Chains A and B, each alone.
Chain A
Amino acid sequence: MYVFLGLGSAIALFPIYWMVLTALKPIDEIFIYPPTFLPSRLAFENFVEAWTSAPFGRYFINSIIITGLTTASHVAIACLTAYAFVALRFPGRDVIFLAFLGTMMIPSVVTLVPTFVLIKKLNWIDTYRGLVIPHMVSVFGIFLLRQFFLTIPKDYEDAARIDGCGRFGILWRMYIPLAKPAIAALAIFSFYHVWNEFFWPLVITSIDEMRTLSVGLRYFIDESAVDWELVMAGATMVVGPVLLAFFVAQRQFVRGITMTGLKA
């Protein structure tokens, strides 16, 4: 059992180790035969060179802004929408909910090209607006929070109403605190999905200053061609923060993935 799991872990981690190792090898040790599995010294200059040969600082800022805004709006909008679907009664509620669910059946690549055409018409290419606004709603997040809100007893809400609490007050002071685990799961899920998103930022950016980390790295791979120590240094910079966050908060991550596992 341990041998099997150990082998699985080793295979899963090895490419990541190989990436960091190559990034830290002095340049003359990259192509030697047989390859070495520990560097003779830690060559941090690779990182400096990678960092200065492409605007990785700018990519980082872009990724942070886009991921931050998108994740925040996923959570905020999902809270409002899910609350309306669960606690409020209004004509057409169920039909609207079905229409929302219907969008989950359509794979995102189907609407990607027409949305690109729309963004082009709006002149939003190479803007944060174009990168963020079309993806501000996570229907899956709405669905997740709705399922969670449904488990909150209706009596709580009635009691709060009698005490003179307004609708927003109820959502803010009662539903949101009670749904914290689901909201955390949604935030984690949105964070790593948006952070790793590639297709949309690829087609919606044409200038280097607006590229995100994944798109910037993609072009960096082509530009640095066979300078593997630079490519690996770039890759390490992109993956590093997420991996660190993951290993520190892996319990929350795993719980989030399990809870959000029903994403179709």
Chain B
Amino acid sequence: MVNTQLARANSSTLSERMSLSLAEMSLAQLRRKKMKEACTGYLYLLPSITILICFWFFPAFYAFVISFYRWDFMNPVKTFVGLGNYVSLVTSAEFWRVMLNTVYYMFGSIPTAMFLALILALALNERIKFLAFFRASIFAPVISCIIAMSAVWLWMYDPVNGLLNYLLQLVGGRPMQWLSDTQTAMPALIIMDIWKHTGYDMIIYLAGIQSIPESYYEASKIDGAGRWHRFRYITWPLLAPTTLFILIISVIRRFQVFSMVHTMTQGGPAGATDVIVYYLYEKAFQDFQMGYAFSISYILFIVILAATLIQWKVGAKRVHYAR
């Protein structure tokens, strides 16, 4: 709108010369209008900007600065240690142990959850009865409070009276110690994670499948392609962006697993389920080593960012190739 009016004002032909003064006036008016629009814009942004600066940018910056200091929360003295926190972090065996645990957790849960989610989504995409019921049931764990669900699994994993050991014995297995055994504690958490999150992946997969045009399938049916071929050469390649998306957010989320660990194992037994965010929690809120905790935060940030970028780079090529 502004451009056309300006153009009109510039191209003052004879016939338009009469209205030139009018155009000049409207130019001044326009400037005032633009000013007003800008003010309105800033005004509308004010609440979000204020909150983000106070509670996002400032804390993030503050944490970055303090991560170069040794600072015990109970003691006001901060000592500059340069990269000291980072060095002692990456050279500590503890850090690598919790990182390894976190990676174990991710590799245990993500592929299985995604595989199950894909099969369930494919099944739900067929024209079946009770679709809404099946979909809602499988999704129910996702919206249920993680603490309440951790309580249920804690009860089911109970080595003496728990349901799972009863079921195991029913099929002739030996009862297990589950969360109290260093060998089985992490797998137990992984099983619960898969139970809790498969529904989410399924919903996203279902949306992806439903966005594939029906005509692709019709064409392939005419060509006589079977179910497997249709999946292999149409559904799976066209779902590549969905798969990549689920993979990326799964990694971001699993990196931050906390509530389950806090409720079910507190990192034990013998540190077998100590994951990176729980480690951060212990350092910050039990040992009050804030400088050290901030350096963990930043390492975590860098690791998640790098993981996301790598998946995105590698994945984007594959996705492109598939198309």
Q: Do A and B come from one complex?
A: yes
1/0 contact string of B243-257 vs chain A (CB within 8 Å)? 001001100100110
Tell whether, in the assembled complex, residue A11 and residue B44 are in contact, meaning their CB atoms are under 8 Å apart.
Answer: no
Picked from B42, B55, B144, B249, the residue with its CB within 8 Å of the CB of A264 is B249
Tell whether, in the assembled complex, residue A100 and residue B52 are in contact, meaning their CB atoms are under 8 Å apart.
Answer: yes
Tell whether, in the assembled complex, residue A90 and residue B47 are in contact, meaning their CB atoms are under 8 Å apart.
Answer: no
User: How many Å from the CB of A189 to the closest CB on chain B?
Assistant: 10
Tell whether, in the assembled complex, residue B284 and residue A133 are in contact, meaning their CB atoms are under 8 Å apart.
Answer: no
Given the interface pairs A199-B258, A218-B147, the reply to whether A257 lies near B203 with Cβ below 8 Å is: yes
User: Which 9 residue pairs spanning A and B have beta carbons closest together?
Assistant: A114-B59, A90-B41, A90-B38, A235-B148, A9-B137, A84-B44, A88-B41, A114-B63, A134-B55
Number of interface residues of A (CB under 8 A): 91
Report Cα–Cα, A43/B139, bound state, in Å.
29
B145 contacts A by Cβ under 8 Å: yes
User: How many Å from the CB of A120 to the closest CB on chain B?
Assistant: 8
Interface centre among B52, B116, B124, B126 (most CB of A within 10 A): B52
Contacts of A174 in B (CB 8 A): none
Tell whether, in the assembled complex, residue A214 and residue B294 are in contact, meaning their CB atoms are under 8 Å apart.
Answer: no
B residues with a Cβ closer than 8 A to A are 1, 34, 37-42, 44-45, 47-49, 51-52, 54-60, 62-63, 66, 73, 116, 119-120, 123-124, 126, 128, 132-156, 158, 161, 163, 166, 195, 198-200, 203-204, 206-207, 245, 248-249, 252, 255-256, 258-259, 262-263, 277, 280-281, 284-285, 290, 293-294, 297-298, 300-301, 304-305, 308
Given the interface pairs A88-B37, A196-B146, A231-B155, the reply to whether A118 lies near B163 with Cβ below 8 Å is: no
Given the interface pairs A84-B41, A238-B147, the reply to whether A113 lies near B52 with Cβ below 8 Å is: no
Which residue in chain A gives the minimum CB-CB distance to B153? Answer: A15
A183 contacts B by Cβ under 8 Å: no
1/0 contact string of A237-264 vs chain B (CB within 8 Å)? 0110011001100110110011001111
Contacts of B262 in A (CB 8 A): 198, 202, 218
Contacts of B256 in A (CB 8 A): 107-109
Picked from A2, A105, A261, the residue with its CB within 8 Å of the CB of B305 is A105
Within residues 167 to 225 of chain A, which ones have a CB less than 8 A from any CB in chain B?
167, 192, 195-196, 198-199, 202-203, 213-215, 217-218, 221
A149 contacts B by Cβ under 8 Å: no
1/0 contact string of A111-136 vs chain B (CB within 8 Å)? 11111111000000000000001111
User: How many Å from the CB of B170 to the closest CB on chain A?
Assistant: 8
Report Cα–Cα, A137/B47, bound state, in Å.
8
User: How many Å from the CB of A154 to the closest CB on chain B?
Assistant: 10
Tell whether, in the assembled complex, residue A111 and residue B56 are in contact, meaning their CB atoms are under 8 Å apart.
Answer: yes
Tell whether, in the assembled complex, residue A89 and residue B140 are in contact, meaning their CB atoms are under 8 Å apart.
Answer: no
Contacts of B62 in A (CB 8 A): 114, 117-118
Contacts of B45 in A (CB 8 A): 80-81, 84, 96
Tell whether, in the assembled complex, residue A118 and residue B59 are in contact, meaning their CB atoms are under 8 Å apart.
Answer: yes
Report Cα–Cα, A167/B39, bound state, in Å.
12
Tell whether, in the assembled complex, residue A109 and residue B163 are in contact, meaning their CB atoms are under 8 Å apart.
Answer: no
Tell whether, in the assembled complex, residue A8 and residue B151 are in contact, meaning their CB atoms are under 8 Å apart.
Answer: no
A103 contacts B by Cβ under 8 Å: yes
Which residue in chain A gives the minimum CB-CB distance to B141? Answer: A12
A232 contacts B by Cβ under 8 Å: yes
Tell whether, in the assembled complex, residue B47 and residue A80 are in contact, meaning their CB atoms are under 8 Å apart.
Answer: yes
Contacts of A242 in B (CB 8 A): 143-145
